[in-house]
Chain A
Amino acid sequence: MKLAYYPGCVAQESGKELDLATRWVCRALGIELAEFPTFSCCGSGFVDEANEVLNVAINTRNLAIAERAGLDLLTICSTCQGMLTLANVRLQDPAVKRRVDGALKPLGIEYRGSVKVKHLLRVLTEDVGLAAVKAKVVRPLNGLKVGAFYGCHLLRPADEMQWESGEEPHAFEDLLEAVGATPVYYRGRVMCCGFPIQFVKAETAQRIAAHQIDDAKAHGADAMATPCPLCHISLDSFQNQAARTVGHRLDLPVFHLPQVVGLALGASPEELGLARHLVPTGPALAKVAPSLRA
Chain B
Amino acid sequence: MADATISAVFDVYRFDPSKDREPRYQRFALDLAPHTPVLSALLQIRAEQDPTLTLRYSCRSAICGSCAMQVNSKSRLACETQIGPEMERHGRIVIEPMRNQAVLRDLVVDQQPFWQRYDSIEPHLILDPSHPMPEDRATSMTPAQVERFKETPRCIACAACYSACPAVSADPAFPGPMALAKLYRFVVDPRDSATQERLVRIQPNGLWLCLRCHLCTEACPKDVRPSERIRDLKELAIQVQGGTEAGSKHAIGFKENIRERGLLSEMKLVRQTSGVVGLAAQAGQGLRIWRKKPEIARRPHRIEGLDEVEKIYEALDRPPQEGS
Partner-B contacts on A (CB < 8 A): 9-10, 12-16, 37-41, 43-54, 57-58, 61, 99-100, 102-104, 106-107, 109, 152-153, 156-158, 166-168, 187, 190-192, 194, 196-197, 199-201, 204, 207-208, 211, 237-238, 240-241, 275-278
Contacts and interface: CB of A to CB of B under 8 A. Distances in A.
B45 interface: no
B300 A13 contact: yes
B48 interface: no
A192 B235 contact: no
15 contacts: A9-B263, A10-B266, A13-B300, A14-B266, A39-B262, A49-B212, A50-B234, A54-B312, A107-B311, A157-B228, A168-B89, A192-B166, A199-B246, A200-B245, A207-B170
A190 B248 CA distance: 26
Interface in B208-231: 208-215, 217-218, 225, 227-228, 231
- Nearest 6 pairs of A and B residues by beta carbon: A156-B214, A46-B254, A103-B315, A192-B213, A9-B264, A40-B262
A277 B308 CA distance: 36
B212 A152 contact: yes
Contact of A43 (B74, B227, B247, B258): B258
B316 A51 contact: yes
A38 B209 contact: no
Interface in B265-299: 266, 269-270, 273-274, 285, 288-289, 292-293, 295-296, 298
A200 B247 contact: yes
A16 B295 contact: yes
Given A46-B251, A187-B73, A157 B311 contact: no
Contacts of B159: none
Contacts of A208: 166-167, 169-170, 211
B231 A48 contact: yes
Contacts of A50: 234-235, 238, 248, 251-252, 254-255
Contacts of A39: 262, 303
B309 A58 contact: yes
A49 B209 CA distance: 13
Nearest to B281: A202
B18 to A, nearest CB: 28
A275 B293 CA distance: 10
Q: How large is the interface on B (under 10, 10 to 19, 20 to 34, 35 or more residues)?
A: 35 or more
A16 B311 contact: no
Contacts of B323: none
Nearest to B249: A199
Contacts of B251: 46-47, 49-50
Given A43-B258, A50-B254, A187-B73, 19 more contacts: A9-B266, A13-B263, A13-B298, A14-B289, A47-B251, A50-B238, A50-B252, A54-B316, A107-B312, A192-B167, A194-B170, A196-B211, A197-B167, A197-B208, A199-B270, A204-B171, A208-B166, A240-B285, A241-B285
Nearest to A276: B292
A191 B208 contact: no
A206 to B, nearest CB: 9
B202 to A, nearest CB: 14
A220 to B, nearest CB: 18
B62 to A, nearest CB: 18
Give the one of B270, B288, B305 with max A CB within 10 A: B305
Contacts of A40: 258, 262-263, 303, 306, 309
Give the one of B211, B270, B273, B288 with max A CB within 10 A: B211
Contact of A199 (B89, B225, B273, B298): B273
